[in-house]
Amino acid sequence: GAGVSQTPSNKVTEKGKYVELRCDPISGHTALYWYRQSLGQGPEFLIYFQGTGAADDSGLPNDRFFAVRPEGSVSTLKIQRTERGDSAVYLCASSLTGEYSGANVLTFGAGSRLTVL
Partner 1 sequence: GEDVEQSLFLSVREGDSSVINCTYTDSSSTYLYWYKQEPGAGLQLLTYIFSNMDMKQDQRLTVLLNKKDKHLSLRIADTQTGDSAIYFCVLRRARNQGGKLIFGQGTELSVKP
Question: Rule CB under 8 A: which residues touch partner 1?
Answer: 3-4, 33, 35, 40-45, 48, 56, 58-59, 91, 93, 100-102, 105-111
Contact 57, 68 (CB under 8 A): no
Length of the chain: 117
How near is the Cβ of 46 to partner 1 at its closest, in Å?
10
Of 71 and 101, which has the nearer Cβ to partner 1? 101
Of 82 and 112, which has the nearer Cβ to partner 1? 112
How near is the Cβ of 109 to partner 1 at its closest, in Å?
5
Q: Are strands 53-56 and 5-7 parallel, antiparallel or unpaired?
A: unpaired
Whole-angstrom distance, CA of residue 109 vs CA of residue 111: 5
